[in-house]
Structure 1
């Protein structure tokens, strides 16, 4: 029996230092794919990012399948076009470019995973099992305050929901990590309600894990020394795209209100708000208390999680952000605004939920954790994250896919 083929569709190059939970989840699905599946990825390339090949040309050729290795797994990769920096929003939305590049092609497979709705316009006639992963509650996303340019569909909500209604019927599964999104889809689309289900977001438990107390303290002192900071510095970590969704401007204002002399804010990420964020840090007089690290590789992010005193999310809307799971898995408590699934995940022993989306409320919450770390034991944080380990979650998804594949093949021979 031939191997079933899974094709994953998303607008990124997995060999680049790219920011985002979707990209991380896709990498988990590649890394933990069992050997009885063939995995393909339709993505993008850039002029400076060679493959790690198992043979053949070292350059990524646009529009052609090429065999390559990612996280120890051989996959087939096809880049649709060149995208120099997928961490920054472009004048022409990348999703639009990606969708346009798919039109007129056929990448039908046994299984197809989509992480954006718009590209599935090209897949309407493709045969095979299609799954749509929904990462945010789109209605909350549409209603969020701030720059309407952050999400182009906010300008045309009626058009988006008409497109959604038109496209959703093609999917065998609609999986979301956000329970509110599931409820809304089931209510608005009762004909396909049984196809909508919950899926746990998953972190890579081979990369995100805690240090011993001694190792953690030693690594903290090493980082403090490298940054020219005091030995007793308390690190507050933000990791994510510098985008209005994550509201990093609110975060630095909250940090200014925190007013703890030995606290230091680490900002790992890149995006369209980088220049504005840098200016705000300067305006607030935080240049010596905040460090912008830029886009950081996953292994470096893992080490930052392990040595930080608290991880913070200041988002306007979320699904279940992987960075929150990664922080907890590293033994680090989380402070979050009340959005997405993170507040449902946290307990009084693992973090604090901000009831108001204000600098003062976030600052007060950070202060609770920084001044009383004994209230947020490492073991409680780790325990909260354990059910979301990719080695378990992703394997369960593939196991279910394999069962459906076998059933289909048995029926074909009846």
Structure 2
């Protein structure tokens, strides 16, 4: 029996630090792929030295994969005049990379793949309805200007998928309601954290790490750290977070912002306007293992998002033993227990500041054990292996049917 081939389609380069939950999920699917599968990735080049449109064998996370850079995207953390998804979709025209299994993380590229043979799976990361309807920033996503066009496109393309996985229960329900004939194909899929990277430290080492971090940046020895990690994008509303730090008004609480994106300069301007230069550090893009080290010495992770799915960073932070402060966005509020975080009833600076104050100043109420316990069902080795198990069962059935003919 030959190995079944899985081809993943997404506009990124896994060897280049790129921000986003989709990238994290794909990386995990590659890392935890069983040896019985051959894995391919149709991605993008991050610099002009890479040859476009040709397969190459490369190693990622200890696993050999076939990689094909489809087009050049030098920095996808910043939006250009032409959306990256459109560039990627256009580059697929006239090509055929069909395989036994195909994974898609945006629906637009499947305009080209509708007639390709093989089992296709669509992964949905956000609450689509909330994403389209949100009014806080009309420029957050292009489809917000044309919601009827998006849903018309979706209706035209959705029948091709053998499986639709959503990490957001509202999007799962939406798809089941909009496409009752596909109801059995739509399922909830837990997002994950990599337990080999994200885990807690013993209390003494955690305290030592916190002191070393404060010393590195010339901060007071008693400084307590809050973490934000994600794309600096209107969806995440980092400007609201900066205003929340101002409302917190505590010089011994310091915000670390890991990530990059189009709002980087507006954030710096807001930090300067509010006089927060000594209370906020912008780290830029941070590699996964470095992010885990930061999580382990922080007192909280904060999300000020307008809409979400289930952010990977939430699971990663909980797995490192730190509690969450979040707005009412996505699955996170449903995930948290009373001893692993706080859900803000209002998306305002004062409400977020009050929640941060409670979590950071009362760590005994949010023990490491409670945070880790909340994250445990989302361990990658369990969740991803279950998906591959279903794929293998489907492959075995097809192989046996073919062999019997």
Q: Same fold (TM over 0.5)?
A: yes
Deviation at 1:392, TM superposition (A): 1.0
Residue of 360, 375, 382 corresponding to 1:385: 375
Task: Confirm or deny that 1:227 pairs with 2:227.
Answer: no
Give, in whole Å, the separation in 2 of the partners of 1:190 and 1:331.
41
Name the count of aligned residue pairs: 404
Distance 2:172 2:298 in 1: 33
Query: What does the per-residue CA deviation read over 1:371-405, in whole Å, with 9 as the maximum and x for residues that have no partner?
Result: 11100000010011011011111111111111110
Matches within 5 A, 1:44-63: 44-47=44-47, 60-63=50-53
How far apart are residue 259 of structure 1 and its match? 1.2
Equivalent of residue 159 in structure 1, options 116, 130, 149: 149
Once the two structures are superposed, residues 146-173 of structure 1 have per-residue CA deviations (whole angstroms, 9 ceiling, x without a partner) of 2222200011111101000000000000
Kindly provide the CA deviation profile for residues 350-377 of structure 1, in whole angstroms up to 9, marking residues without a partner as x: 0000011111110111011011110000
2:102 matched to which residue of 1? Answer: 112
Question: Which deviations, in whole Å up to 9, do the C-alpha atoms of 1:243-295 show, x marking residues without a partner?
Answer: 00000000000010011220001000000000000000010110001000111
How far the C-alpha of 1:5 sits from its partner, in A, is 0.1
Q: Give, in whole Å, the separation in 1 of the partners of 2:133 and 2:403.
A: 50
In structure 1, the residue matched to 2:84 is: 94
Aligned residue number for residue 311 of structure 2: 321
Whole-Å separation in 2 of the counterparts to 1:412 and 1:337 = 51
Question: What TM-score do you get using the length of structure 2 for normalisation?
Answer: 0.99
- Please tell me whether the aligned partners of residues 338 and 353 of structure 1 are also in contact (alpha carbons under 8 angstroms): yes
Q: Distance in 2 between matches of 1:144 and 1:357?
A: 13
* 1:283 counterpart residue number: 273
Deviations 1:192-224 (A, max 9, x none): 111100111011110000001011000000000
Match of 1:191 among 153, 172, 181: 181
What is the CA–CA distance in structure 2 between the aligned matches of 1:351 and 1:147, rounded to whole Å?
27
Kindly indicate whether residue 101 of structure 2 is the aligned counterpart of residue 121 of structure 1: no
Q: In structure 1, list runs of 5 or more residues that go unmatched.
A: 49-58
Is 1:39 the counterpart of 2:29 in the alignment? no
Cα displacement (A) at 1:413:
2.0
* Contact 1:201–1:322 (Cα < 8 Å) also in 2: yes
> Within 2, Cα distance between the matches of 1:381 and 1:232?
23
Following the alignment from structure 1 to structure 2, what is the Cα–Cα distance between the partners of residues 231 and 211?
19
Q: Deviations over 1:103-130 (max 9, x none)?
A: 1111110000000010111110000000
Residues 1:4 and 2:4 are matched in the alignment: yes
Q: Which stretches of structure 1, 4 residues or more, deviate above 4 A after TM superposition?
A: none
Answer yes or no: is the 8 Å Cα contact 1:120–1:167 preserved in 2. yes
Q: Does the CA-based 8 Å contact 1:302-1:326 persist in structure 2?
A: yes
Shift of 1:145: 2.1
**Equivalent residues of 1:175, 1:196 under 8 A apart:** yes
Specify every segment of 5 or more residues in structure 2 that has no aligned partner in the other structure, as ranges: none
User: C-alpha deviations, 1:5-57, integer Å up to 9, x for none?
Assistant: 00000000100011001001100000010111000000001227xxxxxxxxx
- Match of 1:149, SS state, is coil
Contact 1:60-1:66 within 8 A present in 2 as well: no
Is 1:17 the counterpart of 2:7 in the alignment? no
Cα distance between partner residues in 1 of 2:355 and 2:182: 41
- The alignment's C-alpha RMSD in Å is 0.8
| Structure-2 residue corresponding to 1:372 | 362
Offset of 1:60 from its aligned partner? 3.1
Q: Check conservation: 1:242, 1:271, Cα contact below 8 A.
A: yes
Is residue 71 from structure 1 mapped to residue 61 from structure 2 by the alignment?
yes
User: What corresponds to 1:51 in structure 2?
Assistant: none
Deviation at residue 82 of structure 1 after TM alignment: 1.1
Aligned partner of 2:249 in structure 1 is: 259
For the residues of structure 2 that align with 1:263 and 1:165, how far apart are their CA atoms?
48
Asked if 1:338 is matched to 2:297, the reply is: no
Q: Deviations over 1:314-365 (max 9, x none)?
A: 0000000000000000000000000100000001100000011111110111
What are the residue-to-residue correspondences of 1:195-214 with 2, within 5 Å?
A: 195-214=185-204
Match in the other structure for 1:29: 29
Residue 245 in structure 1 maps to residue 235 in structure 2:
yes
Q: Does 1:404 align with 2:386?
A: no
Q: Secondary structure at the match of 1:113?
A: strand
Q: Distance in 2 between matches of 1:380 and 1:326?
A: 14
2:301: which partner in 1?
Answer: 311
